[in-house]
Structure 1
Amino acid sequence: MKAQQRRLNSFVKDYNHVTPHEALDLETPASIHDFSNRPFPERIPKFEYRSNMKIMKVCQNGAVRWKSYHWIYLTAALKGK
């Protein structure tokens, strides 16, 4: 397992720092990547909806029920939200 991880690490280093990419005008990803300076919060604050909005729960199938008989699929990423 450790040998496999070393080979993967070597590939990633080569891919990002050595091999030029045609889609990047023959630059390496590491040479053009710019880290974001926007802070990432430890906890995402609770969102407050306006009082005139209806809050709906996304079911386990990734959809919401609209007007009690229509199902609208949103995304599986929001299951239970």
Structure 2
Amino acid sequence: MATYQSRFPELGFYVKDELRKFTAGSYVTESDAEIAVLDALTDAARVEESIDEVVLDEITDEQPEESADKPAAPKAPAPRKSSAK
């Protein structure tokens, strides 16, 4: 899988007479034909790691820790007193 980033959010390019577009400046493909065209584009750069792999790595690296110091529950507001008018 190859991931590419563009400096334009919706950069378009043609592969075998079919229009392909970046979405939000990102394009992911496994096609050799698309990779060849994208490597030739000057407005797109290949990203070393795909976004899914980075997110997966962050999830597995951050294990929730059990902490003994739990934050105290917020205090309830003081009851309102009516004015003596």
Which protein has the larger Cα radius of gyration, Structure 1 or Structure 2?
Answer: 2
Structures share fold, TM-score greater than 0.5 = no
Structure with more strand by fraction: 2
TM-score by length of 2: 0.23
TM-score by length of 1: 0.24
Structure with more helix by fraction: 1
